[in-house]
A = this chain, B = another copy of it.
C-alpha cells in the first residue's frame, strides 16, 4: 500500500482488505454450543452434525407411473399390431403392502408411488395397455425393458449416504429431506450473542424520543444538531441476518471510561462486540484506545473506501469490531467483517455467501483512492437485456461514506482492486450482491 497516497485517511499505514479479513476471521472461534429445536423452526439455522441417510430413499421399489406391474419378459415383442395378453391378478394401491404376487403371464394394476409387488420387474404405463371387458385380462401394446418405470430403492439416497454436512445453513429443501429421514428435532448450533454500542455525542436514541400517534419521532426536538443513531438499528438487522442474536444495543457517550466499562461488561456476557463511531484517529475516537489498552487490536486502518477507519480486534478470544460512525462505512464493515465473523461463531462453513454476478458497466467510472479497494455501489438494470447478455450495472453516483441512499438504492458492490484506476462503459465487472 502506497502510504503517500493514503495520507488523507490519517492512518500511518493501512492493511490490505484481504489480509485484514483473513487475519481477523482466523482469530474468530467457532461456537461449540448446540441446542435441539423442532424441524419446522430450523430454517436458516446451522446444522451441528453431519446428516446421513438413516435408510434408503426411497425405502422400497415403487412405481413411477399408473399402469400394470409385470414381468418385463412377458412384454417382449408386444406392439399395437400384435399385443400381448396377460392375466390380471389384482390391484396395488399406494400406501398398501401388495397382497398379490406377479408371475409369468400375469400382472397387477398399480398406481404411481405404490410398492412393486413381488415378482414384477417393470411397470407398463396405463396408456400402453387396455383392460379387457371381462376385467380378467389386459393387453400390452408396447414392450418394456426390465426396470422400466420402477423407481429403485435408494435411487435418491442409499442407506448411510451423506445428506448434509455439519455447518450447513438449513434451506427449505433441506427441511424436506430431513423430514423424509424422520428428524422431528434437530441439533443446531446456538445463535451467537452480539452486543452493539453506538458512540457519538451528536446522537440521540430513536426509542428515547417521544413518538407521535403514527410512531414518528423528530430528533430536532432534542436539539438542532442532533441526529438519530441509525447505525445501531441497521447493524442489528445485518447481525440478525447473519444468524446473530443481538442481546443488547445501546448508545454510549464519547467518554473513554464509560466505553471501557461497557465493552468489558459486553465481553464478559456475549460472543461478539460491535461498536460504531469513534474508530478514526481524532481526539474523540476512543475505541482504538480502549481496545488497545484492555484487549488486542488486530487491524486498525484498512485500505478500503469506504471503511478505512474500521478496527478489528479480539477481546479474551472474542471478536470485537469497531465500525465507522458513517452509515455506509459502518454497513460495509459489517458486510465484509462483521457478518462473516458471526457466521463463523455460528459454526457455518460458508462465511461470506454473498452471490457474485457478472454485469456490464453502463457508464465509465473514474475512481479515486489508488492503493485501496474501492467499493462501488451499483444497481442492476435488466432493461433491453436480451437472451444471454449480461445485465447492466449502473453506478450509483454517490460518493461519501455517509450517503445512506447509495446502499438503499444499490444491489451490490463492484470491488475495485487497489491497482485499478477506472473502468470504461461496457467493461465486464463482478458484482457482489447485498445480502437478501
Contact = CB atoms under 8 A, between A and B. Distances in A.
Interface in A371-405: 388, 390-391, 398, 400, 402-405
A156 B430 CA distance: 26
A237 interface: yes
Given A177-B408, A202-B113, A230-B179, A237 B172 contact: yes
A220 interface: yes
Contacts of A94: 200-202, 284
Contacts of A175: 233-234, 237
A228 B182 contact: yes
Given A331-B173, A408-B173, A283 B113 contact: no
Interface size class of A (residues with CB under 8 A): 35 or more
Interface of A: 7-8, 10, 36, 39-40, 43, 54-55, 57-60, 64, 66, 93-97, 111-115, 125, 127, 151, 155-157, 163-164, 171-186, 200-203, 206-207, 209, 211, 214-220, 223-238, 240-241, 280, 282-284, 325, 327, 331, 353, 355-358, 388, 390-391, 398, 400, 402-405, 407-408, 428-430, 433-436
Contacts of A217: 182, 184
A39 B115 contact: no
Contacts of A64: 400
A62 B282 CA distance: 16
Contacts of A185: 211, 214-216
A184 B95 contact: no
Contacts of A404: 57, 156-157, 173, 176-177, 180
A213 to B, nearest CB: 10
A206 B184 contact: yes
Contact of A174 (B115, B356, B408): B408
A98 B95 CA distance: 80
Contacts of A157: 404-405
A176 B405 contact: no
A155 B230 contact: no
Minimum-distance CB pairs A-B, first 8: A185-B215, A176-B234, A95-B202, A172-B237, A95-B201, A179-B230, A173-B407, A179-B233
Contacts of A57: 404
Given A163-B408, A216-B184, A390-B358, A200 B283 contact: no
A135 B156 CA distance: 79
